[in-house]
Structure 1
Amino acid sequence: MRFKPHLTVATIVEDSGRFLMVEERQDGRTVLNQPAGHLEADESLIEAAERETLEETGWTVEITSLVGLYLFTARNGITYQRTCFAGRPLAHDAARVLDEGIIGAHWMTLDQLQNTPTELRSHLVLDCIRDYLEKPHYPLDLIR
């Protein structure tokens, strides 16, 4: 059987110590995640990150740097390669209809995320934020 990981993007958007998070339904449960999703045909990784952030939160962002690359195997056995970016919020469209399955977008501090009763979609949620806060960011021209 051929190995076919899913290629995904995620965006860390911080404003005044709060992070833009998505509350969504996954497998019958409510979870928190960064704005994230799959790369579509004929778009770049950066375009995918900007699109997913807008579709899931109503926020237009400028992608500013690469935070990291992550491999994750979900409980269902599917492996995901996540390209995580940092982005700067530019404008919010409060009237925008969000993607199906999205309950809402919330600005949350790291403490709130660490102590939330809502489940995180995966350990990558906090891993990416910690890397964003503690590790170097990489220039976007690294991606070709």
Structure 2
Amino acid sequence: MQRWKPNVTAAAIIERDGRFLLVEEETRDGLKLNNPAGHLEPGESPAQACAREALEETAHPFEPTALVGIYLAPAPHAAGGEDLTYLRFAFCGRVAEPRSGRPLDDGIVRVLWMTPDEVRASRERHRSPAVLRGIEDYLAGIRYPLALVTVHGPLQRDG
């Protein structure tokens, strides 16, 4: 019997001057828009994964300061035909200017700063419904302290 395990991801909800930082990325379904996001790696907390992914995908250093939400969503018939479920931790925080000359992750075509209305108008291009949901929750003022996610054990990885 195969044991079910969700794929844990971390996403950055990055806002500056009323615009949100998104990435345009290559997927098996074509070019899609997403929050800077990716999978949790061994030895890191969800907040550390968020900071790492934001830097890798956008070249912007990012420091999570609050948890916006935790989202559980199926991704039916992913690559290989298996049904997957994603458990996404979305964080907001402080963003710095991009690091000059830093390459973006493979598959990232470009970064975009979009208004909430532009994000809403592009729903059909979103990688998942969590893209807009995290932004809407952020705009609604939802914030939880980072301490809500308790990490036990000897995690030694630095962002």
For 2:95 and 2:74, how far apart are their aligned partners in 1?
A: 30
Match of 1:61 in 2: 62
Q: Which has the higher strand share?
A: 1
Deviation at 1:137, TM superposition (A): 0.3
Taking a change above 3 Å as real, the CA distance of residues 68 and 117 of structure 1, as seen in their structure-2 partners, is: closer
TM-score by length of 1: 0.95
Match of 1:32 in 2: 33
SS at match of 1:48: helix
Q: Contact 2:21 / 2:112 at 8 angstroms: preserved in 1?
A: yes
Give percent identity, aligned residues only.
46
**Does 2:89 correspond to 1:88?**
no
Bigger CA radius of gyration:
2
Gaps of 5+ in 1: none
Q: Contact 1:32 / 1:118 at 8 angstroms: preserved in 2?
A: no
TM-score by length of 2: 0.86
Q: CA RMSD in A?
A: 1.3
1:76-96 residue CA offsets vs partner (Å, 9 max, x unmatched):
220010001002112311311
Taking a change above 3 Å as real, the CA distance of residues 66 and 117 of structure 1, as seen in their structure-2 partners, is: closer
For these two proteins, the number of residue pairs brought into alignment is 144
For 1:57 and 1:66, how far apart are their aligned partners in 2?
A: 20
Deviation at 1:62, TM superposition (A): 1.4
- Residue identity matched to 1:7: V
- Residue identity matched to 2:41: E
**Does 2:105 correspond to 1:99?**
yes
Taking a change above 3 Å as real, the CA distance of residues 24 and 56 of structure 1, as seen in their structure-2 partners, is: same
Deviation at 1:142, TM superposition (A): 1.5
1:29-48 residue CA offsets vs partner (Å, 9 max, x unmatched):
00000000000001111110
